Amino acid sequence: MNKPSLLIARQIYPEVLAKLEHHFQVDYNESDEVYSKEILIQKLSGKQAAMTTGTERIDEDVLLACPQLKICANIAVGYNNFDVASMTARKVTATNTPDVLTETTADFGFALMMATARRIAESEHFLRQGLWKKWSLDMFSGTDVSGSTLGILGMGRIGQAIAKRGAHGFNMRVIYHNRSQLSDTLEQACKAQYVSKEELLKTCDHLVLVLPYSPQAHHTIGESELKMMKPSATLTNIARGGIVDDAALVRALRAGQIAAAGLDVFENEPQLNPELLTVPNVVLTPHIASASRKTRLAMAELAAENLISFFAKGQALTPVNHW
């Protein structure tokens, strides 16, 4: 019996590749180049399956050109690179990798928020440039984390994990806004209080964004939202680029509308608004919130298991669409 054909669109761990080669006829992007749409279509031609990352856009054009495609397994919890409606209409299964990255991403989100609040990156640059000549009382004084108010926009698994770190580890008051309110049991576990989006923005000392991207969520945080926040507040985005209007954020940081920002995701990444590089009170990291080897391996393993299960049992483990 012929093995199903699979495109692995980016470089993966050798042990995951070996497992997939046992089950599939594999076309592997060993060079790890980011395919253009034209090359992606060429590589997917005749393939029944694809293992993708956020850099591969599976849209109507790709689906029309590759009618044999049956499943795309994303190595990510997010899947805004998938046109899910078109995939569902053409009965192409889309999968993601939930749960396995929750704790690692929450660790990073909290670390990025703390680095932002305490001006760690800004002060390190100062030191590296040889500008530290003396100690002074107010040098790089930042914002307290312990005992402050943590605001979370998007209260899924990662948002809840961040809430628990704040409430239980740092004695923070936790408020959140979400599409729907959590159950009483989950709210108690997180020590979190549901509030309106406006109250969240006006009240929090540290705002962390963990909501999924959708066209409706585009620029959820823009000029008007930033103006609602305290001048002493910080903003941390570990969700997706596009949720924050990066140009508006630059203006707000320069004007002192908020104190600082920590960004792991950007509009149009890996390109980013060059003005962000000129603003001292922003911490920038290259989309690495889930980047521990253990977690990234687990993500790749789950994506592989989705592919294997789909062809062996007719059902993926963590599908994001149904028909």
Catalytic residues: 240, 269, 287
Tokens encoding 154: 């998007």
Angle subtended at Cα 272 by Cα 266 and Cα 277, rounded to the nearest 5 degrees: 110
Amino acid at 7: L
- Within 13 Å and on the Cβ side, how many CA atoms surround 272? 20
Q: Please name which of 105, 78, 81 lies closest in space to residue 290, comparing C-alpha atoms.
A: 105
Crossing angle (nearest 10°) for helices 102-117 and 157-164: 50
**Beta bridge partner(s), residue 176:** 152, 194
Q: How far is CA 186 from CA 150, 203, 231, in A?
A: 17, 22, 31
Please check whether residue 174 is in contact with residue 106, taking contact to mean a CB–CB distance below 8 angstroms: no
End-to-end CA distance of the chain: 28
Tokens encoding 248: 């508006």
Q: What is the DSSP string of 96-147?
A: ---STTHHHHHHHHHHHHHHHHTTHHHHHHHHHTT---S--TTTT-----TT
Task: Give the strand pairing for 206-209 and 149-153.
Answer: parallel
CA 265 from chain centre, in angstroms, equals 7
Between CA 294 and CA 46 the distance in angstroms is: 33
